[in-house]
Amino acid sequence: MNKKQFIQAIQTLKALPKRKFKQKYDFIMNLRHLDLKKPEEQVELWVKLPYDKGRPTKIGALVGPELAEQAKTTCDTVVLHDNFSQYTDKRKMRKLAREHDYFIAQANIMADIAKTFGRIFGPRGKMPNPKAGCVVPPNANIKALVEGLRKTIKVSAKIQPSVKVMVGNEDMPDEQIAENCLAVYTNVVHKLPQEAFNIKSVMLKLTMSKPVKITEEAK
C-alpha cells in the first residue's frame, strides 16, 4: 500500500457531487483471520498522525496542584483534585466525557480518578491511558504531550474485525490526508499477528459517500 493509491481514492471522492457542509474522510480497514476473543489478537493502539485529523482535539486534565498551572495553559478543561467532589452528578460526568477526546491524569491521584470518574469514563473509553502517555508524574512537562495528543487518534478493533478512524476533512490537501491514511495503515499492519495477510480490505469514504476500495496498485 502506498501514498499514490490513497491519493487516487481521495481524488475519486472529490469528484463526487459536493454537499452543503464540510465532509470528513473516514479511513476503514476490514480485518480477517483474527480471533478477537484472544487479547493478543485484538487491536488497540494510538497513532500520532503526520497532520491534523480534520477537527479540533479536546483534552481534559485531572490533576493536583503540582500540574494545575501547566494544565490551565495547555488543556481545554482542567479538573483539580480538590474539585472532584463536584462531579458526583452522572450527567455532569457524561457531558465532560462527551466533550473531550483525551484526559491527562496525574499518576499519584489515579486511585481517586478511577473512584470518581471510572464508572462513567471507563465504558466510554475515556479513562486516562498510560499506553497513550496520558498518565504522568507530578513533575511532568505536559506541553509536548498535549501537542502530540492533538494529532493522535485511537485505533481499535476489539469486538468487530474492523477499524474506522477520521483522517481529515475536505479542506485539507490530498497529500496530507494520504499521509495520515498511510500512517494508520502502517501502524495497524505492524500490530497484526500476520501483518498484511490479516487485512481483508482497505477503504476510504466521505461522511455522506459510499466507501471507495483501495485494492489495486496505483499506476
Q: Show the DSSP H helices in 25-135 as ranges.
A: 68-74, 90-98, 110-121
Question: Does some domain include residue 201?
Answer: yes
* Mean of pLDDT over the chain: 94
DSSP 42: S
Query: How is residue 51 annotated by DSSP?
Result: S
Indicate whether 218 belongs to any domain.
no
186 assigned to some structural domain: yes
Task: Please write the tens of the pLDDT for every residue from 13-45.
Answer: 999 999 999 999 999 999 999 999 999 999 999
Of all helices (H) and strands (E), which one includes residue 205? strand 199-206
| 109-157-4 Cα angle (round to 5) | 115
pTM strictly above 0.85? yes
Q: Is 215 helix (H, G, I), strand (E, B) or coil?
A: coil
Domain that holds residue 203: 3-54+151-213
pLDDT at 219: 39
* Domain containing residue 88: CATH number: 3.40.50.790
User: 32 and 66 share a domain?
Assistant: no
**Please, are residues 163 and 52 in contact by the beta-carbon 8 Å criterion?**
no
Tell me if residue 210 falls in helix, strand or coil.
Answer: coil
| pLDDT tens digits along 85-109 | 998 889 999 999 999 999 999 999 9
Count: domains in the chain: 2
Is 168 found in the same domain as 155?
A: yes
Residues 141, 108 within the same domain: yes
Lookup: cell for 108: 499519584
Say what the alpha-carbon torsion angle 80, 83, 87, 92 is, to the nearest 10 degrees: -70
Same domain, 127 and 20: no
Model confidence pLDDT, tens digit, residues 118-165? 999 999 999 999 999 999 999 999 999 999 999 999 999 999 999 999
- Per-residue model confidence (pLDDT) at position 218: 39
- How distant, in Å, are the alpha carbons of 61, 150, 162 from that of 119? 17, 25, 26
CB 46 within 8 A of CB 153: yes
Examine residue 169 and state whether it is found in any structural domain, yes or no.
Answer: yes
Nearby residues of 91 by Cβ (< 8 Å), 6 or more positions away: none
Cα angle 116-125-66, degrees, rounded to a multiple of 5:
50
The yes-or-no verdict on residue 191 having pLDDT over 90 is: yes
Task: Specify if 121 maps to a domain.
Answer: yes
User: What residues have CB less than 8 Å from 1, skipping those under 6 apart?
Assistant: 182, 185, 202, 214
CB 132 within 8 A of CB 46: yes
- H or E stretch covering 44: strand 43-48
Say yes or no: 49 and 71 in one domain: no
